[in-house]
């Protein structure tokens, strides 16, 4: 970031520009696109940042390579959303050895490295799962559930699934991963409709896969939301519209629009200010009483 150029020695606020490497895990869903847009809008030149953004296309090896490149470039901070929870020990140690602070975004990691990152910001996936379970217990207590899982080994999959398994385990007739994408969600549902003809509900770990599931259910001549109920996560506009159209029954929100908060944390961490170890982004939940106005107001 060069020598001090302004009168202010605080990085990123009139003083030096903050060089940030952001390793995004992919572009698999509407949620991810909204999150990426929010990040790019927050880390602009006029806000004091020099951002290098790299999309890993849902491949851990791409993320590890991007992070190593950021270390080689001597960035001031690294932000990243880990595609899966494990396998980061070595690269996190390398960032630590290079004394580059890491801001963990969206998904969490399991690592043996001590003090592996400066701070974490993201949604509480386990609480989202609990919210879904509470709705199911109240509104569809005897459902026979097919669980459409997100990317296996990702904290979004593992943590949303925990309460579903522990509270509704005996009602789960089958599970398969749709990797958080619409196409794979559709394919997994097509197979599930054959394998588990007794299912009455799909719990889909995100809206994109739920939208794929809707296509598969309709192609099989059944009514999504009625013959097979759908509970989903995220609350992107297409998902909310399907909820309003009664093809999805309940959506637990996962709010992706927190780029400004990430930028604020990065600035503080780079300037050696104290930050909370973890910041949780609050989520709502929506049922079929959602209004068209709420959907139209959704920016993503």
Among positions 11, 19, 107, 267, the unique one binding ligand AHR when judged by CB under 6 A: 107
Among positions 106, 147, 159, 253, the unique one binding ligand AHR when judged by CB under 6 A: 106
Stretch that binds ligand AHR, among 27-35, 111-119, 224-232, 287-295 (CB under 6 A): 27-35
Binding mask 115-154 for ligand AHR (x = CB under 6 A): ----------------------------------------
234 binds ligand AHR (CB under 6 A): yes
Spatial distance between the Cα atoms of 246 and 236, rounded to a whole number of angstroms: 15
CA distance 184 to 157: 15
Question: Are 207 and 236 a contacting pair, CB within 8 Å?
Answer: yes
Nearest partner of 300 among 219, 224, 235, judged by Cα: 235
Q: How far is the CB of 99 from ligand AHR (least distance, A)?
A: 28
Q: Is residue 19 near ligand AHR by the rule CB under 6 A?
A: no
Nearer of residues 69 and 126 to ligand AHR, judged by Cβ: 126
> According to CB under 6 A, which one of 19, 21, 24, 31 is a site residue for ligand AHR?
31
Nearer Cβ to ligand AHR, position 220 or 285? 285
Q: Does 283 bind ligand AHR (CB under 6 A)?
A: no
Q: Shortest Cβ distance from residue 164 to ligand AHR (Å)?
A: 14
CA distance 286 to 235: 8
Nearer to ligand AHR by Cβ, of 10 and 255: the residue is: 255
14 to 11, 21, 50: CA distances (angstroms)? 7, 20, 13
Interface residue with ligand AHR, options 43, 88, 117, 180 (CB under 6 A): 180
Q: Toward ligand AHR, which CB reaches closer, 156 or 172?
A: 156
Cβ proximity to ligand AHR, 172 vs 209, nearer residue: 209
Nearest-approach distance from CB 124 to ligand AHR, in angstroms: 11
Q: Should residue 111 be labelled a site residue for ligand AHR when binding is judged by CB under 6 A?
A: no
Strand ordering across the sheet containing 145-149? 172-177, 145-149, 201-204, 229-234, 250-253, 285-287
Closest CA to 19 of 40, 50, 47, 54: 50
Main-chain phi, psi angles of 242, to 5 degrees: -65, -30
Ordered DSSP codes for 108-176: ----SSSS--SEEEEE-HHHHHHHHHHHHHHH-TT--EEEEE-STT-HHHHHHHHHHHHHHGGGEEEEE
Of 49 and 180, which CB lies nearer to ligand AHR in the complex structure?
A: 180
User: Is 63:80 a contact under the CB 8 Å cutoff?
Assistant: yes
Binding region for ligand AHR (CB under 6 A): 28-29, 31-32, 106-107, 156, 180, 206, 233-234, 254
């Amino acid at each position: 970031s060069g020598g001090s150029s302004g009168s202010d020695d605080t990085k990123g606020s009139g003083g030096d520009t903050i060089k940030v490497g952001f390793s995004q895990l992919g572009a698999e869903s509407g949620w991810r696109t909204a999150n990426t847009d929010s990040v790019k809008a927050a880390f602009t030149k006029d806000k004091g940042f020099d951002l290098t953004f790299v999309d890993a296309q849902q491949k851990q090896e791409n993320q590890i390579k991007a992070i190593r490149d950021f270390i080689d470039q001597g960035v001031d901070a690294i932000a990243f959303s880990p595609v899966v929870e494990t396998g980061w020990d070595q690269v996190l140690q390398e960032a630590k050895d290079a004394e580059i602070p890491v801001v963990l975004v969206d998904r969490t990691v399991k690592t043996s490295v001590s003090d592996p990152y400066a701070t974490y910001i993201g949604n509480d996936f386990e609480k989202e799962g609990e919210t879904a379970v509470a709705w199911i217990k109240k509104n569809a207590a005897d459902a026979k559930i097919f669980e459409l899982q997100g990317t296996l080994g990702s904290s979004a999959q593992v943590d949303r699934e925990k309460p579903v398994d522990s509270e509704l385990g005996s009602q789960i007739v089958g599970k398969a991963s749709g990797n958080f994408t619409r196409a794979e969600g559709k394919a997994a549902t097509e197979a599930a409709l054959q394998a588990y003809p007794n299912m009455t509900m799909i719990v889909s770990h995100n809206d994109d896969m739920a939208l794929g599931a809707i296509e598969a259910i309709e192609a099989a001549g059944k009514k999504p939301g009625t013959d097979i109920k759908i509970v989903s996560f995220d609350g992107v506009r297409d998902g909310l519209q399907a909820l309003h159209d009664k093809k999805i029954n309940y959506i637990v929100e996962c709010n992706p629009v927190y780029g400004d908060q990430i930028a604020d944390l990065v600035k503080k961490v780079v300037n050696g200010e104290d930050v909370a170890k973890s910041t949780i982004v609050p989520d709502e939940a929506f049922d079929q009483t959602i209004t068209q106005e709420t959907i139209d107001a959704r920016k993503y």
